[in-house]
Structure 1
Amino acid sequence: MIRMLSPTVGDLLRDLHASLTLRKRPEDVAQLIQDLHAAQGTVLDPATEAALAKGAEHSLRHVWHGYTSMAEEFTRPIGAQRQLARAAALFTSVPELPQSAGEDPALIEAVIRRAGEEIGRSYGQHNTGQDRLDRTGRAAAGLGEISKRQYNKRFRLLRRMEAKLARLVHEQHLREAAMTGKGAFAHALPFELFATDIDSAAFIAYLTARGYMRSVFTNGRQRQVYDEVAEALFQRLRDAPERTCWYAVAHTYPTAEVLARVSDRDLTRLLARWNRCLHQTAGLLEEVWERQPPARHTMIVRRGDDSSTWNLAAQAWNTARAHWLALLTELGQEEILDRVCPGKVPRLMAGDVAYWHRAGGGGLHPDTAVWAELPLPWEVLRGERACPRSRVEAACARHGVDPVAGAWTAPRPAAEAVSFRRTPELVHGVAVADPLMAGVLRSAGVFSGKRNRAAQEEQ
């Protein structure tokens, strides 16, 4: 009989840390936190014990099927492993590389440059008519022994590898934007910082899991992130402030209460990181805008709009902007907003959801009208157009929006804890009670907005 060893505190902490880049259900993270405290022998206070028990009641360990149809990971870009293996076969200067190399843009670029030197090709030479060497050029470059066919094969491979590298970098930025928009900088926390304090790690992991939850197809508000389980875990931080790693917590939960306990040096470091994130995210938004500008006064999706990229970037922008505002306020540097105060960016809304809003007596959110009046974020960051706080306040006043309560010119107010509710099994945003049935519906294309194969065959 094989005896199963119980996981150690270190193992469980690493599992919790790994969840910061996954999409685990909050119930399963609550279960991990229970296991962590049990492994450490922690005697929990009754409020935290009850909250965690409520949160973990429907973890996959405790349900009969032990299964969820929803992916538990953000979509990973397809790496360049196949192209690197082919390059190793064709170029003597390219060694066999590990699988992880296919996800490293810097390494891929270095391989392309090194391989290009073998055939007299410079990085960025894509034109097959002008950049390829003819027989004379190959001879002058010392490539006389390589046939035209073999030379062309290598040239085409490097050209494809450069295109693959550009796609990989773009998709990695999108994945990072998705995690940043929902979980702030939790995914970027190094393990050493995350594991400084177990209670801090538990709060960060649970709050991140709540933030990573998928949106529900509705014409009302989405489920709030901060719930009673998060509140109980945060209360443990309040009860032992000297032990808490407030700097780690500030990566995901930048309330005034948290930031007040972080040193000015660490606040400045975070501010610099969020500033870089704003610039990178603005670049993603500008790329979408350049291809086809959305309908700015309605933000309703039209044919040809890249709503997926826009919405990921918009959510990341708004999260970065909220942290940036909170840090400026805590550092006492609000006067910067008198010169530069970029606005929020609304997500694009599907036409059927917009119709649902109107049918229910609603309409466009007032923030949409404010956004439409302000300069575009990338123009503001580059200094091409002025957007001081006074301009944002004037736009808000014209549309009946409170610039402070609406977080246009001030940090978001601290959230009130909501009741814990079980994570729904979603198929394209629609809740389905049975995860096994949800898997069938998803594979059949139900709720996807696309005609499924069965319906097409019936015709």
Structure 2
Amino acid sequence: MLSPSAEQLLRDLHASLSQRKRPEDVARLIQDLYAAQGTDLDPATEEALAKAAEHSLRNLWHGYTSMLEDFARPVGAQRQLARAKSLFTSLPELPADAGDDPARIEAVIRRAGEEIRRSYGQNDFGLDRLNRAERTAAGIGEMSKRQYNKRFRLLRRMEAKLARVIHEQHRREVTMTGKGALAHALSYELFATDTDSAAFIAYITARGYMRSVFTNGSQRQVYDEVAEALLQRLRDAPGRACWYAVAHVYPKAEVLAHVSDEDLARLLVRWNGVLRQVAELLEDAWNRHPLERDTMIVRRGDDSSTWNQAAQAWNTARAHWFALIEELGQHEILDRFCPGKVPRLMASDVAYWHRMSGGGLHPDTYVWAELPLPWEVLRGEKECPRSLVESVCARHRVDPVAGAWTTARPTAKAVSFRRTPELVHGVSVADPLMASALRSAGVFSGKNKRAAAQEWL
């Protein structure tokens, strides 16, 4: 039985799975949790956590970071709901968060539509409006044309707003999936089954949620010495660990070996759904503006944000799916169905930087360019067996195993812990207060500079 303080710390750790806290701050929470439980940590874990927590905000003199500690949330429909409440008398009082709930927004649109005899989805301003005779026959003849049109236009805009809210919420979830797998979907009950498992999940998720750095090299690896120490605690007590929860975020063979076939199948079904949802997002971005597939360099008109978020989510889901297929011993599936990876779009200045430093396009780009598009493979419109992927990889001198084209990602060795940099549009800035001023002034944004907000002058 956890003490109240320990349970609150565990809930704070669980909340971090949907936030974007720095790994240092999560490490400090883990330290506090173990202290509240009176757990005697092994020297390796104690040293690793201390190394990370040393740089937590609670241990820094300014206690401040310029980076948001949450994923960007879509702007809700609060303003539209308030306007609807003033125009439609049948609407009840709504809670403050109703504008973030698509179901409630839709319910308001439907109920308000009943007042003007409008059905949900009737948005054609020329064909779906009622004229004077039709309004009279419908029992709203006392409403003027101007008042009727005002209400009709509002509901039409609210339906468009609802579609945007749903799309942006989906994008936010896709972003979190790409960086942290299914961590954000873990229930508190499953997460809290075992403290050591919860500590590992929270820390590895925080590492995955770290922002990308503007560089012409590789990004920082997620699995570091702190994660290794926390995972070692699970290895030392395998019977107590909640391996099923860990498998949501870390699908390595040593983890999946402890998960039952039933739970593995449950995860496989879940990742199947993610692959299909993300494929739809990729296809939508592609259809709106086809990409320069041979180079994957951003051109004017490309929706690079949506594409890159979806590409990362696809690759994460694909990696989990491959690992689960292999653990279940269903290798023959990959012989027939082996969808490829999806590269992210690269900014032209980064591509130029690569060329000037003696590099070029990543070899994976050439493989991607020759394979069928992932949504076509998922729908069965084109075939992509393992043999095709291997032949394309061989043509471009890419190792299909080391590059995770035909197998699950290889297990990475733990890297040394390095503190989280303050980033302004991917550029590291030493001081968080200076970073806030630079961001306010639009520095490194690629857009025109502006005066910093008064608070930073």
TM-score, normalised with respect to structure 1: 0.96
Residue of structure 2 equivalent to 1:374: 371
**Deviation for aligned residue 1:246:** 0.4
Residue of structure 2 equivalent to 1:253: 250
Tell me the matched-pair count.
450
Q: Which amino acid aligns with 1:69?
A: S
Give distance in 1, aligned partners of 2:320 and 2:187. Answer: 19
Q: 1:231-242 counterparts in 2 under 5 A? A: 231-242=228-239
**Deviation for aligned residue 1:94:** 2.3
Tell whether the 8 Å contact from 1:428 to 1:447 is kept in structure 2 after alignment: yes
Q: Which amino acid aligns with 2:418?
A: R
SS of residue paired to 2:199: helix
Residue of structure 2 equivalent to 1:87: 84
Quick one: which of 14, 21, 26 aligns to 2:18?
21
Q: Which amino acid aligns with 2:135?
A: R
Residue of structure 2 equivalent to 1:309: 306
Q: Which amino acid aligns with 1:157?
A: L
SS of residue paired to 2:319: helix
Residue of structure 2 equivalent to 1:66: 63
Give distance in 1, aligned partners of 2:263 and 2:105. Answer: 34
Q: Which amino acid aligns with 2:339?
A: P
Alignment of 1:396 with 2:399, yes or no, is: no
Residue of structure 2 equivalent to 1:444: 441
Quick one: which of 345, 361, 364 aligns to 1:364?
361
Residue of structure 2 equivalent to 1:137: 134
Alignment of 1:325 with 2:322, yes or no, is: yes
Alignment of 1:183 with 2:180, yes or no, is: yes
Q: Is the deviation greater in 6-15 or in 63-72? A: 6-15
Residue of structure 2 equivalent to 1:3: none
Residue of structure 1 equivalent to 2:429: 432
Query: Which aligned segments of 4 or more residues in structure 1 are displaced greater than 3 angstroms?
Result: none
**Deviation for aligned residue 1:454:** 5.2
**Deviation for aligned residue 1:84:** 2.0
SS of residue paired to 1:401: coil
Alignment of 1:31 with 2:28, yes or no, is: yes
Tell whether the 8 Å contact from 1:7 to 1:39 is kept in structure 2 after alignment: no
Alignment of 1:56 with 2:53, yes or no, is: yes
**Deviation for aligned residue 1:86:** 2.4
Alignment of 1:272 with 2:269, yes or no, is: yes
Residue of structure 2 equivalent to 1:44: 41
**Deviation for aligned residue 1:421:** 0.5
Q: Is the deviation greater in 21-30 or in 117-126? A: 117-126
**Deviation for aligned residue 1:88:** 2.7
Residue of structure 2 equivalent to 1:195: 192
Residue of structure 1 equivalent to 2:122: 125
**Deviation for aligned residue 1:414:** 1.0
Give distance in 2, aligned partners of 1:103 and 1:71. Answer: 19
Give distance in 1, aligned partners of 2:128 and 2:334. Answer: 49
Render the CA deviation track for 1:220-244: whole Å, top value 9, x for unaligned. 1111000000000000000111110
Give distance in 2, aligned partners of 1:51 and 1:7. Answer: 26
Give distance in 1, aligned partners of 2:181 and 2:9. Answer: 22
Tell whether the 8 Å contact from 1:370 to 1:399 is kept in structure 2 after alignment: yes
Q: 1:79-118 counterparts in 2 under 5 A? A: 79-118=76-115
RMSD, aligned CA: 1.3
Render the CA deviation track for 1:295-351: whole Å, top value 9, x for unaligned. 000000111111111100000000001001111111112222222221100000001
Q: Is the deviation greater in 25-34 or in 128-137? A: 128-137
Residue of structure 2 equivalent to 1:160: 157
Give distance in 2, aligned partners of 1:97 and 1:280. Answer: 31
Residue of structure 2 equivalent to 1:288: 285
Which stretches in structure 2 are left out of the alignment for 5+ residues?
453-457
**Deviation for aligned residue 1:184:** 0.3
Q: Which amino acid aligns with 2:223?
A: Y
Residue of structure 1 equivalent to 2:455: none
SS of residue paired to 1:453: coil
Render the CA deviation track for 1:406-459: whole Å, top value 9, x for unaligned. 11111001111000001111111111111111111111111111221259xxxx
SS of residue paired to 1:169: helix
Give distance in 2, aligned partners of 1:98 and 1:86. Answer: 14
Alignment of 1:214 with 2:211, yes or no, is: yes
**Deviation for aligned residue 1:145:** 2.4
Give distance in 1, aligned partners of 2:101 and 2:276. Answer: 22
Give distance in 1, aligned partners of 2:109 and 2:209. Answer: 36
**Deviation for aligned residue 1:9:** 0.5
Give distance in 1, aligned partners of 2:208 and 2:289. Answer: 30
Give distance in 1, aligned partners of 2:264 and 2:140. Answer: 56
Render the CA deviation track for 1:140-192: whole Å, top value 9, x for unaligned. 22221222222112111110110000100110111011100000000110111
Q: Which amino acid aligns with 1:26?
A: P
Residue of structure 2 equivalent to 1:342: 339
Alignment of 1:173 with 2:155, yes or no, is: no
Give distance in 2, aligned partners of 1:343 and 1:64. Answer: 47
**Deviation for aligned residue 1:219:** 0.6
**Deviation for aligned residue 1:93:** 3.5
Percent identity for Structure 1 against Structure 2: 80
**Deviation for aligned residue 1:7:** 7.0
